[in-house]
Structure 1
Amino acid sequence: MTSPAARLRALLAQPKLHVMPCAYDALSAKLIEQAGFDLTFMTGFGASASRIGAPDLGLMSYGEVVDQARNIAAAVSIPVIGDGDTGYGNAMNVRRTVQGFARAGCAAVMIEDQLAPKRCGHTPGKAVVGRDEAADRIRAAVDARDEGADILILARTDARHDHGLGEAIERARLFAELGADILFVEAPRTESEMREICAATDAPNMANIVEGGETPDLPPEALEEIGYRIAAYPLTLMSAAMRAMVDVLEAMKQGRPRAGLMDFAELRRRVGFDDYYERSERYASSARPVTPAKEAG
């Protein structure tokens, strides 16, 4: 069986856009795979919200994040890209982060150039480190990959926010020269900016589509024509799930019928009960009660 990283490399070699709904836990990742998508991404926004009930403002530790990634990767067979944030320290911490995400089963890990504590890319207050420090992070990540971590490096820059598109593109070019496998220039504001980003290097680029965010929510066919290889949708599933939960809680509070629920049989199937019982039949003999032997005489 090929490794998650090898499967992701094969997907990126295809001259097409891969639509990538993002997962916030193991269950959402399973639903993404069941829907037929080729890959997923562990969204930091969603992971922080679901695991600790707090915003994505650098509150989760490295250990919590990599544990969440491990649970997600273990639940599916499609490649999972993990959110390694800023690498949780200096360049040596970045190396450890990359190695940890590889051991957790991730196909790739994202390392970004924000100041710690980082911010969600479409929220106020984010800032980036200098270009040299940003380069050191990606250099350390690439070194960890090349020294044995079976994982791809997704290099992200948030420089567009404070320093303009030109600086963001220069950083992306630098990251590509250092050996990053995938590039992610966060929060371009127009289709024209998105085209500039994709034209700047030959490396695969990822678009980040946040409903209500700064980047134009273009249809997949337009993103593919522009040149993107991956289109990430980090909040779509969490937003849909939260809306459904808020609505049904309000219905319960008012004593109204609980509408829009998944059928119990389908719920069990999607979680994995049917598969579990089918597989367990292989070992059914060990579950049968033992009949006491009759005494001789």
Structure 2
Amino acid sequence: MRRRRPIHLPRPLQDRLDAATRAFIQADRRFVADFTSPAGEPAFTGPDSISWQVFKNPLSLFVGGVAAVILELAEPRVRAGVWGHSTFRGDPLERIRRTGLSAMMTVYGARSRSEQMIRRVVAMHARINGTTDDGMPYRADDPELLRWVQATASFGFLEAYDAWVHPVDEVARSRFHKEGVEAARLYGAHDTPRTGHERDLYFAMMRDRLEASSVIFEFLDIVRGVRLLPRPLAGVQEMLVKAAIEILPEWVRERLSLGAAWDLRPWQRLLIRRAGAIIDRIPLRAAPPAQACRRLGLPEDYLYAR
């Protein structure tokens, strides 16, 4: 993927963005989000990986995360586990924050800290089980369901970056999928797709298991309304939710009844692409990508100067 020079903002604006980033990361005292130590310790993948490039963009992370959750909720057993055993309805901002930090730690965190976090998540999953409204039993640690969750996350983040930031070629796509295999295995997801072709075949295999649900529309209402951006930018948040729906395969949208009302206007697509490309060039000192680079002795803007 072709890189351009980083954009260094005026100091007052940069300080405000760093402060907001730091507040978001450190808001949950139960999760020590330190990406700067132990000094020199590598993550699951390195700073020259595709994953480190893709996960550094907050716009595509939000879009990709929404798309991934839509796909998760389309599978009835995953939907029952996610919706019945999470705080999303009561405190959506906190759930978004924890989920985002978990993804950041898996990509940028020192390996020992990432493995420690993954063990906690695996232990939590082991306690979650139940029955869907249709009587199907489920367990959150079921490898089959974890495989779907991992595949949908990879789909969301990669396709959001490709659509709204920079195109990703087939070689880079294959690298991205392979980079996630080891961490996925530790979470309990096995036989995860290693190429885009394998992912497409897997999605086709899952087609008949996916279904529309009122929960999906409840999720979309929540994520459109939760205050992630300042009030003057609330309309942008609405557009980003639609951008997530636009990257879904057409057959998925039809199956989930996400029709033309969820389409972006041409000028909105252009705006999101321009914003995504610009944001991709702005280093945030307090964000996990810059912190991880410092841990490895690299400049804070290393990922933005390639």
TM-score normalised according to structure 1 size: 0.24
TM-score norm. by structure 2 comes to 0.24
Task: Considering fraction of residues, name the structure with more strand.
Answer: 1
Give the structure with higher Rg (CA): 1
Higher RCO, 1 or 2 (CA under 8 Å, sep at least 6)?
A: 2
